[in-house]
Chains A and B, each alone.
Chain A
């Protein structure tokens, strides 16, 4: 069965510092991969997606993610974090029939 693991439940980062959120998946076929962000009290917004091709994908709000097949990973990065990036981040894998399997999420706190 497919699964998505986000090893870090909570990350605290200083404003202006870099951020990396980890995501590992277990899936038998070539996956579709997504990162979503959820601000407090809001729904989920798509940050970026990987379907095929270039393994480094760019998203909105200055985020990027790199697909590494050998490590079954799809880590999210941002070079310089802003206070508005404080949110919960979810990695998801497309598992066929258009369904998504989500990780448990990583909460990011940004300190001044």
Chain B
């Protein structure tokens, strides 16, 4: 039972390079999320997708784009990476019915360094 899978686990980029972080869940969840985690700041929401075919901005969307490819997959793209985007990125999903929709399940994270 894989849950939420993120790839890659680690990545080093040069300023200006682009990359896509991949996320897939096998729990048949409707909603998916991308967060970044920085020391002393907790997790901040970048983008989320409440259901397949929809995406919305979170707290810190600048410099990022997302694609909800299908119900299982939600990718995060950095078009032109900047050192300020050095962070740990987490994907999460939630779904099912009722209040359980508020329970989010997290992947193991992608550690990104932009030089």
Question: In the complex, how many residue pairs between chain A and chain B have their CB atoms under 8 Å apart?
Answer: 56
- Encode A1-18 as 1/0 by CB contact (under 8 A) with B: 000100001000000000
**Which size class do A's interface residues fall under?**
20 to 34
How many residues from B make CB contacts under 8 Å with A? 25
A97 / chain B contacts, CB cutoff of 8 Å: 48, 50
Among B90, B99, B103, B105, the one with the most A-chain Cβ atoms within 10 Å of its Cβ is B103
Interface residues of B in 16-41 (CB under 8 A from A): 31, 33, 40-41
- Does B82 have its Cβ within 8 Å of any Cβ on chain A? no
Are B107 and A98 in contact, CB atoms less than 8 angstroms apart? no
Q: A32-B99, A43-B90, A97-B50 are in contact. Are A102 and B107 (CB under 8 A)?
A: no
Q: A46-B103, A90-B42, A104-B40 are in contact. Are A99 and B108 (CB under 8 A)?
A: no
* A contact residues vs B (CB 8 Å cutoff): 4, 9, 32, 34, 36, 42-46, 49, 51-52, 90, 94, 97-100, 102-105
A–B Cβ pairs within 8 angstroms, 8 of them? A4-B42, A42-B108, A43-B90, A43-B107, A43-B108, A46-B105, A102-B43, A104-B42
